[in-house]
Amino acid sequence: MKILITGANGLLGQKLVQLLLDQGETVIATSHTQSRLGYMEQEFVYDQMDIRVRDQVMEVVSRHTPDVIIHTAAMTNVDQCETEREACDRLNVDAVQHLVDAAQVTGAFLVHLSTDFIFDGEGGPYVESDEPNPVSYYGESKLAAEKIVKASKGDWAILRTVLVYGVTPGMSRSNIILWVRDSLTQGKELKIVDDQWRTPTLAEDLAMGCYLAAKHRAKGVFNISGKDLLTPYEMAMKTCDYFDLDKSLITKVDGSMFSQPAKRPPKTGFILDKAKDVLGYDPVGFDEGIRLLDQQLKDMLVK
Confidence at residue 67, expressed as pLDDT on a 0 to 100 scale: 98
CATH 3.40.50.300 matches 2-169+200-227+264-284:
no
Q: What is the pTM for the complete model shown?
A: 0.97
- Give 266-299 pLDDT, tens digit per residue: 999 999 999 999 999 999 999 999 999 999 999 8
Q: How far apart are CA 71 and CA 159, in angstroms?
A: 10
- Give 10-30 pLDDT, tens digit per residue: 999 999 999 999 999 999 999
**pLDDT exceeds 80 at position 97:** yes
Q: How far apart are CA 11 and CA 5, in angstroms?
A: 12
For the range 182-190, what are the long-range contacts, defined as Cβ-Cβ under 8 Å and sequence gap of 24 or more? 183/249, 184/240, 184/243, 184/245, 184/246, 184/249, 184/250, 185/243, 185/245, 187/249, 188/249, 189/249, 189/250, 189/251, 190/236, 190/249, 190/250, 190/251
303 or 52: whose pLDDT is higher? 52
Q: How far apart are CA 131 and CA 121, in angstroms?
A: 11
- Give 119-178 pLDDT, tens digit per residue: 999 999 999 999 999 999 999 999 999 999 999 999 999 999 999 999 998 666 789 999
Q: What angle do CA 134, 135, 139 make, to 5 degrees?
A: 50
Residue 258 binned pLDDT confidence (cut-offs 50, 70, 90)? confident
| CA 143 distance to own-chain centroid | 15
